[in-house]
Structure 1
Amino acid sequence: MHIFWTIYLGILGTVAIAFLIKGLRTLSLKVDFIISVITWIGLFGFVTNTSILTPLVWKIVFVGGLLWDVLFSYIGKHDDGEEALVDLSESTKSILTGITLFITLGPLYYGLYQYAF
């Protein structure tokens, strides 16, 4: 099971580096990147069983990061991929966003939860 967590950690790190290389044009993308790095560090601590900071810090990061990701995904305006979703209804877009969040970020927040609590 440890190898799957390590692979997931590597995928998240690679995606973060790709976004950094691509460029962070807006303030919300910069904040999202910073939050992503902080949550990645927490997941790294969970995967490697390393104590980084205190559990209280990771509880705050867990709640704050989860709220940010949900709000950023549903409320934030994104330029990438919008043309693929033009023909879909708002409810379908919301459902697809929720499923995508659950699949891609579910393991991250599961690991952060385990690490914090």
Structure 2
Amino acid sequence: MIQIFWYVYAALLATSTIAFFIHGGYKSPVFLIDLAFTVIAWIGLFGFVTHFQIFTPFAWQVILGAVVLWDLLFFFFIKAHFTEQEPEAGTLSMTVFSGLFMLVLLGPLYYALFQYAF
């Protein structure tokens, strides 16, 4: 039963990324780098859900660290330089709120990569 939830979670992540891609969200090279990190993380999620060893556990340990570091740097620092939106009043509180939302949304992915790596 829990496997079904992992498949639904993977489908949710894939659907949101595909929708972002269709609506032109990956125009900048930096966003394409983010897409590459996302796809690599999905490969790990697929390996975790299907119990299929894709790379060595050490490779996934490195990938886990790189994905988490990239997501944090991209979300809080890099993405702001590549979006056209002007900063508004109260932006810091919205950034913290959306950062917590990102953590809730990507938390299961990080958990799966951690379990897959260790």
Q: Which TM-score band (shorter chain)?
A: 0.7 to 0.9
Instruction: Look up the match of 1:107.
Output: 108
- Map residues 18-29 of structure 1 onto 2, 5 A cutoff: 18-23=19-24, 24-29=26-31
Q: Please report the RMSD computed on the Cα atoms of aligned residues, expressed in angstroms.
A: 1.9
Instruction: Look up the match of 2:71.
Output: 69
| TM-score, structure 2 normalization | 0.86
Instruction: Look up the match of 1:48.
Output: 50
Q: Between the two proteins, what is the percent identity of the paired residues?
A: 39
- Map residues 3-22 of structure 1 onto 2, 5 A cutoff: 3-22=4-23
Q: Deviations over 1:15-43 (max 9, x none)?
A: 22223323321111000000000000100
Report the count of equivalent residues.
114
Mapped partners of 1:5, 1:36: distance in 2: 16
Q: What secondary structure does 1:31 align onto?
A: helix
Instruction: Look up the match of 1:86.
Output: 88
1:5 is displaced (CA, Å) by 0.7
Mapped partners of 1:4, 1:86: distance in 2: 38
Name stretches of at least 5 consecutive residues in structure 2 with no aligned partner: none
Q: Deviations over 1:70-105 (max 9, x none)?
A: 11110122638x57x834242x13421321121111
Extract structure 1 runs of 4+ deviating beyond 6 A: none
Mapped partners of 1:99, 1:41: distance in 2: 24
Name stretches of at least 5 consecutive residues in structure 1 with no aligned partner: none
Query: What letter matches 2:51 in structure 1?
Result: N
Mapped partners of 2:109, 2:69: distance in 1: 13
